[in-house]
Structure formats: C-alpha cells, structure tokens
Amino acid sequence: MQIIGKAEILKHVDVRAVLGDIENGFKAFAAGKAQVAPVTHLGFDAANGECHIKCAHVADDSVFTVKLATGFYDNPAKGLPSSNGFMAVISAVNGTPLAILQDEGVLTDLRTALAGVIATRLGARSSAKTIGIIGNGIQGHLQAKLICELLGYKSVVIWGRNAEKVAALVKTLGSELPAVEVAQAPTAEALCEQADVIVTTTPSREPLIQADWVRPGTHIVAVGADSPGKQEIDAQLFAKASQVFVDSPSQCVEHGETANAIKAGLVAEADLTPLGEALANGAAPRSDEDITIADLTGVAVQDAAIAKSVWNSVERNSARP
C-alpha cells in the first residue's frame, strides 16, 4: 500500500477533469448506480471541532474510497489549518488497500468547492454577474476562486464575521484574479443587495442570511451545514424558492439547510430535486425573478471521484519508463 503526501497529490490533480468526474458521480448517485454509506459524525464541542467519515463506490469502478475529514475551526488562531484528513483508495475487485492519500483535507476542500461550481452553473440565472461569498476561510476562498476561473464571473463580494480576515481574503483574491473585481461587504445584508449568487461557507449554527434580505432572482448555494445543528440561511427562504436542489436527499433532510426547513413545515422531501437528476435531465426553467437554492451537504461520490482521479494519475505516471 502506498502512502502519498499532499505535495505529491497536488501534482496529480487536474481540476477541470475532476469537475467532470464529480458531475458524473452525482449523476450516477441519482440514478442509483452508486453505493453511499450513511455519514458518521463526531463532534468535539470543547475544541470547536468535528470529524466526518464517508465512503462510496460507483458502479463498475475498480476502486472505492473511504474518507476521514476533520474541521477544527479554532485552528487558524493556533497557526494550523482548519481542515485535515485523508482518503483511502481500496480495490473493489479484491478488497486490497491500495493507497492512503494523506491530503490533509485539501481534496475534501477542492471537491466541495467544485460542487459549488456545479451548483452555481446549474441554478444561477443566465444574467447573473456577481458572486457573494459568506465566510472568510478556506472554502470561501476556493469557492470564489474556482467559480470565477471556471464559470467566468468577474465580480465577487465577501462578508464574514471577522472583518480583518475578510480584508485579507479580498487582497489575496485580488492578486489571484486580476481580471475580477473583489470587494468587502460591510454587512451580510449589504452583500445580499449586491449578489446574484450567494455561496455560504461557514460552520455557523444560526442563520447569517435573513429571508427578506435576498433579492428576487438570487441563487443560493449553501455549503456549510454539513452536520447536525448547523444553519447558515433563514429557513423561510425555502418558502420563497421555486426550486431546491439537494446533493443527497437523505443527507439534506437529516442535517442540511433543508432539514431546518422541513422541520418548520416550509418544504417537503417530495419537493426536492436531486442535483444529479437535474444535471442529467436539466433543471426546471427559472425566471429572472425566481429564488433558487442548492443545499450541498457533501456526498461521498465526490470523494470517490477525486480520489480515483488522483490514484489513476499516480498509476499512469508510475507505469511510465
């Protein structure tokens, strides 16, 4: 079994190829062609931390993936990254562990951001111009960077609870995306007044966006509520939405933003549109006045897709003379 470190892993990541692989994983999942185990959650309240364990196998793939990811949100103040973890690549033919991808969380961060790209492309109105990012951490950075790079957005506005960190992120993105206008919003409400697409990327346990702040025509990509107790958006937004996309219906009704809306009686499970189904068949038509929501709790097929892509690249390069 190989143990492959983060530096080596990053040499084998083709972002555009992985984007397509993840999209195909969502389609396979929606079509019943993937096994996805229930998510295991561990919480460490005293350390403001959590651990997720996810595993999946897509039909006909020669490997499957088991992923352990941690998020300890006080780590940046200690000079440590908030995300960490690894992915195990295992043979689906004979059960042999083939590799530990000791990615320190970077593959989880990347596959999460690429799901945001997919959800933005699927749900945003064609005239959308400005991305609003709620949050100033790793995911806020990646969502802004990749949505602009892969979808061509030229305007980003960011708000987070730490104004100094937001300012630093604005500066970083400004240097990485010189053709993009990047600005700091003074409040979350001000961000909602400017953004056509709002991406929420925090571990918040209370709404950061109120329903009456969101303009008609806005598409919301909710990323942060990936474990029980988390919430970033007002559940009343679901009552205003013309369509709600969910990466995993079972996960979203259990612990996503959707779970909060279902508990409040604002939406029913039957009203939800699986993301993979919409990718395969097309989303329902939306007007420029419709509000739409994509609830992304993170599905193990994303981990299977990115881990397989990296492993295949490692294998190909190892086979070269």
Which pLDDT tens digit goes with each residue over 159-182? Answer: 999 999 999 999 999 999 999 999
Same domain? 121 vs 240 = yes
Domain that holds residue 100: 2-108+301-319
Res 225: pLDDT: 87
What digits encode the pLDDT tens for the residues 241-259? 999 999 999 999 998 999 9
Same domain? 177 vs 244 = yes
**3-state DSSP of the chain:** CEEEEHHHHHHCCCHHHHHHHHHHHHHHHHCCCEEECCCEEEEEHHHCEEEEEEEEEECCCCEEEEEEEEEECCHHHHCCCCEEEEEEEEECCCCCEEEEEECCCHHHHHHHHHHHHHHHHHHCCCCCCEEEEECCCHHHHHHHHHHHHHHCCCEEEEECCCHHHHHHHHHHHHHHCCCCEEEECCCHHHHHHHCCEEEECCCCEEEEECHHHCCCCCEEEECCCCCCCCEEECCCHHHHEEEEEECCHHHHHHHCHHHHHHHCCCCCHHHEEEHHHHHHHCCCCCCCCCEEEEECCCCHHHHHHHHHHHHHHHHHHHHCC
Q: Provide mean pLDDT across the span 95-110.
A: 96
Same domain? 293 vs 305 = no
Q: Which CATH number goes with the domain that contains 35?
A: 3.30.1780.10
The total domain count for the chain is 2
Percent above pLDDT 70 for the chain: 99
Same domain? 221 vs 154 = yes
Q: pTM for this one?
A: 0.93
pLDDT band at 7 (very low <50, low <70, confident <90, very high): very high
Res 295: pLDDT: 97
Same domain? 166 vs 296 = yes
Q: Which CATH number goes with the domain that contains 255?
A: 3.40.50.720
Same domain? 223 vs 135 = yes
Same domain? 280 vs 201 = yes
pLDDT band at 109 (very low <50, low <70, confident <90, very high): very high
Same domain? 282 vs 269 = yes
Same domain? 190 vs 309 = no
pLDDT band at 228 (very low <50, low <70, confident <90, very high): confident
What digits encode the pLDDT tens for the residues 49-86? 999 999 999 999 999 999 999 999 999 999 998 889 99
